[in-house]
Amino acid sequence: MTSDTTESAPRTTDSTEAAAEPVLVRFARPATAPDPVRVLLVHGLCSSSAVWSPFVARADPRCEIWEADMPWRGTGVRDWTLRSVEEWVDLAVSRVPGGVDVLMAHSFGTSTVLSWLDQQITGPQDALVVNGRKLRGIVLVSPLYRAAPDDFDWESIAYYLNNFDRILATGMRAHGRTPGISEHQMAVAIKVRDFIGPYSWIRFFDTYLRMPQIRTRQLPMPFLIVGGEQDFVAFPTDARALGASLPDASVHILPRNEHFPMVASAESFAGLTNTFLRSLPA
């Protein structure tokens, strides 16, 4: 179903390639300073690696950046739900030559990365080593997280089901300059919703429901968590709850931001992230 060769190509993807390969990992930018930090970017549901473009352009010179187009991208693989989200993240990580220092994820991507990290825990340890390389840090943007099963109720299901098309339309609006969601954006969002189908939504919410089972206290690496004050998809309370559950985490809620702070407040987001990356131990 998938190839084990790493993609190292231009950032654009033609439709034939996207249809043929569920996980596309590409080299996005070299490091231009000593002691490079190898970063892999993971996007959310119905998004793409393009959502990280503002950060890639502003990343610290030490960053060697790789980006993944995951099978849950907007033009992705219809049957991606037949495999677990952890398998897809593991495949993306394995395709970065030499291993990954830092994982950065957004929205649904944060839930998949947390679930994958939980699978890497083998017992009490002061570091997680994957493919022979120590994970030095994690950056989670607009995370979907709740600390206890009782934090979910029937209203949670109704909210995310009934607002799913609006959530998708918000993603399309992220790069725009006008407020509000246009009729065209909503129409396209509904088409995308229908294309990915109910199985993708169920996998999204099932992964969210499993967040209380993640052994966050056993994740030893530093975390940077960034949320938006006005995010109606991943609420600021989710970001704060995740930060409180981790041994080493800093949480920043950006004012007047919604679900895509790395786009809407590109300079502020890059400043926070670059400061965090520079603070990581060699």
- Above 90 in pLDDT, residue 197? no
- Residue-wise pLDDT tens digits, 30-62: 999 888 999 999 999 989 999 999 999 999 999
Listed in sequence order, the residues at least 6 apart from 140 whose beta carbon sits closer than 8 Å to its beta carbon are 104, 105, 106, 110, 113, 114, 223, 224, 225, 226, 242
SS3 (DSSP) at 199: helix
* Residue 16: per-residue pLDDT: 45
Q: How far apart are CA 10 and CA 36, in angstroms?
A: 21
Tell me which residue has tokens 């206290």: 217
Establish if 261 belongs to a structural domain: yes
Lowest-confidence segment of 112-116, 163-167, 249-253, 272-276 by average pLDDT: 163-167
Separation CA 222–CA 227 (nearest Å):
17
- Domain total for the chain? 1
**pLDDT tens digits for 153-193?**
999 999 999 999 888 887 766 655 555 677 887 888 888 88
Structure-block tokens of residue 282: 């060699």
* pLDDT for the residue numbered 190: 87
pLDDT of residue 19: 52
pLDDT confidence of residue 170: 79
What CATH number is attached to the domain comprising 63?
3.40.50.1820
Whether 164 is covered by a domain: the verdict is: no
Residue 251 placed within a domain:
yes
DSSP letter, residue 40: E
pTM: 0.90
Q: Which amino acid is at 36?
A: P
Asked if residue 187 is part of any domain, the answer here is no
Residue 179, domain member (yes or no): no
Residue 3 lies in a domain: no
- Strand blocks (E) in 131-260: 133-134, 137-141, 223-228, 249-254
The Cβ of residue 268 has, within 10 Å, a number of other Cβ atoms equal to 16
Instruction: Give a yes or no: residue 154 inside a domain.
Output: no
Find the mean pLDDT for residues 242-264: 97
Whether 257 is in a domain gets the answer yes
Contact 75, 26 (CB under 8 A): no
pLDDT for 184 equals: 80
Domain of residue 43, residue span = 15-148+200-279
- Residue 107: phi and psi, rounded to 5, are 55, -125
Amino acid 123: pLDDT: 82
Q: Determine the pLDDT at residue 176.
A: 52
